[in-house]
Chains A and B, each alone.
Chain A
Amino acid sequence: MDIKKLTVSSSPHLHSGDTVRQAMLLVLVALAPAALFAVYHFGWYVLAILLTGTISAVLAETALLRLMKKPLTIVLDGSAALTGLLLALNVPAGAPLWMVAIGAFMAIAIGKHVFGGLGYNPFNPALVGRAILVSSWPAHMTAWVGPGLISSATPLAMQRAGEAVPPYLDLFLGLKAGSLGEVSVFLLLLGGIFLICKKVIDWKIPGAYLATVALMTWVLPARGQVGFFAGDPLMHVLSGGLVLGAFFMATDWVTSPVTKLGRIVMGLGAGIITAVIRLYGGLPEGVTFAILIMNGLTPLIDRYTMGRRFGAR
């Protein structure tokens, strides 16, 4: 017998076949129902926003990869498309397309490539893009509309102003004003559970996040209110970007902790910050900054939550 050429490498000599691309595509699939609902709910213009965000991000990624002389095939991993879509899902339904394009470019350039590209960015790129847009064009980013692009306050703003909030079922199904991707809590939950079942994300981050916000908004009196255990946790969970953030942003692989306990801490910390901003802050909503702050703490969280090693007490 004659064996001519053998490959020698370290074990294991098997691989699951899982790829980063596969996972990114699964997240895109999981987001699709909520994105399509936004088109149905707000109108066709939304489709233009979603496409602008996604395509701008992919173009930005391609241009930057070229500039940095990296293989252009990286763009096929789907991470840029996902960042672009998430960014687009984070703007109001009347957002100008040029702003969405700038946001997507910023997300990829400032959120990702200045740090070295996929895997090295400390902050969730889509949220970096959103934060830049919120601080650059606050009027556009808070011009909330309902169906038919008619001006309307978000449930959280209504609640702050002491107005009547839509019924829970409307909040759950998405019959309200808000950013494109956050409205249909029902479809986001479906997508999130799909990702948990597919083992793309761990239930610990969204679980801890939602539970913390619910608990705090129930127990603590908001600014100007008195008495404990009088809050409306269900309204808080069903409103704003909480469910979108908990399942699709706080769970971002690159920017969340790798340790098991760390993932609980991530959800817990984001939950505390979100609830504090919502109850006592100057803004009605706090998901973006809660997640970004926790992203910044992720290396520290990883370091102090290593946990027990096998055989140790």
Chain B
Amino acid sequence: MAKTFIGGIHPPYRKEGLSALPIERMPAPKVVAIPVQQHVGKACLPLVKVGERVLMGQKIGDVDASIAAPVHSSVSGTVLSIEPRPHANGKMVNSIVILNDFLDEWHPSALPKPHLDKLSPEEIVALIREMGIVGMGGGGFPTHAKLKPFPSPPIDTVLLNGAECEPYLTNDHRLMVEAPEKIIYGLRCLMKAAGAGRGHIGVEENKPDAVLALKKVAALYSDITITSLAVKYPQGAELQLIRACLGKEVPPGKFPPHIGVVVNNVHTAEAIAQAFTTGMPSIERVITVAGGAVERPGNVLVRVGTTFAQVLEARGLKGEPYKLVSGGPMMGLAMYTGEVAVCKCTSGILALTYEETGAREAGPCVRCAKCVDSCPMFLQPTTIAHYAMKGRVDDAENIGALECRECGPCAYVCPAGIPLVQWIRLAKSDIYARQ
């Protein structure tokens, strides 16, 4: 039986047909708006001025902070303005707006790096930072910061997340099928940088072609294992992935390095390989464009800084979407405008119709305990929500509200339609506000 975790749900995957569509490159738009913050941590400061000509791959923003990653220009052209623009995080974020000259003239720094055998772990970590690599599964945590974490036991395993358990999304699937060599090369870079003796890739078994492609390449390396995982959401949640692949649990409040594991997305590994072998920093990525309101769904290679509206225009819309989601439908964020730019951690753009979301009014909790049974963190979502409603902040904290990863099965299964994740988020923010 395929490996998995306890709890979780089987939502409709809605990947039929989508996972067979090869990655298509979308031409760069006339104007790109590159947010100076595309990662968790400190925002970058612009390194260029309005009116300045910039080249493709040129570093245009950076900051001296341990948890941050620089940003690079995804086109060559002229800086039109540097101004706050709507961001996928819901806030206005300073963005460098560049008029594309369509020459795609590369910056001289964008040169292939030496083979990883010739690089030291420290050099690899430094290069990963310099190339602006961040977690591309959606988290956006700077990858270099994961590799030299706070004092922790030695890292023995680098685990790549190829589960792609979110419905609709097939971008990682396509990448695993089309670029397995790059993913394995990226994994080896990460293993060397972290000093890990083992590499592991977990893939849900509904992607047999991806498993096969990765296994074929991984056969050359005895220290890399490819694991088929049961199809269940949230199989790709970091802690559940570790549990499924390695049989270990990260203690509450701790991070994976605590048990000697570093988890990265397969797309992150691919971006590392791309950066090392071609010299191209993180300026483009594969996203899945899907949803009932999209005319031509697909897996699209998009330049960072392209807006959601531009992507949707290229794919066509049928009717007005009810929701526009950045990421997957279970954990993605609902956008209030299409003027949000694709950044390094945007895994999907979903234009969903009212019908497919199953949106509904909330009723009173009937204590059916379906949320409890579905919670992969073994929490009591309904009880935390109840405390949140009543302002019982301490009680919410005592029963583990902060351990919630907001993965969403509780709200998905709730027959009363209670937005449990929203209530738990409120509980968490109340707890943080008190601290």
Using a CB–CB cutoff of 8 Å, the interface residues on chain A facing chain B are: 1, 3-20, 22-23, 77, 117-120, 199, 202, 253-260, 263, 302, 306-312
Contact = CB atoms under 8 A, between A and B. Distances in A.
A9 B361 CA distance: 13
A22 to B, nearest CB: 7
Contacts of B431: none
A191 B416 CA distance: 24
A3 B312 CA distance: 10
A112 to B, nearest CB: 12
The 3 lowest CB-CB distance pairs between A and B, nearest first, are A15-B358, A12-B408, A119-B364
A196 B409 CA distance: 20
B380 A20 contact: no
Given A119-B364, A258-B382, A309-B378, 7 more contacts: A1-B313, A3-B337, A10-B334, A15-B357, A263-B369, A306-B399, A311-B403
A249 B331 CA distance: 37
B322 A11 contact: no
Given A8-B335, A10-B425, A310 B376 contact: yes
A258 B367 contact: yes
Contacts of A9: 323, 334, 359, 419, 422
A15 B359 contact: yes
A20 B416 contact: yes
Contacts of B320: 3-5
B365 interface: yes
Contacts of A16: 9, 11, 358, 412-413
Contact of B363 (A3, A8, A20, A257): A20
B338 interface: yes
A35 B318 CA distance: 50
Given A1-B317, A310-B403, A13 B329 contact: yes
A236 B118 CA distance: 77
B323 A310 contact: no
Contacts of A259: 369, 372, 380
Contacts, number: 172
B338 A3 contact: yes
B241 interface: no
A172 B325 CA distance: 55
Contacts of A312: 251-252
A11 B366 contact: no
Contacts of B415: 18-20, 22-23
A309 B400 contact: yes
A10 B334 CA distance: 7
A311 B331 contact: no
B411 A12 contact: yes
B380 A311 contact: no
B366 A254 contact: yes
Interface string B333-344: 111111000000
A253 B11 contact: no
A204 to B, nearest CB: 10
Interface in B213-261: 239, 243, 249-252, 254
B369 A13 contact: no
B387 to A, nearest CB: 12
B352 interface: yes
B239 A3 contact: no
B205 interface: no
Given A1-B313, A309-B377, A311-B254, A7 B334 contact: yes
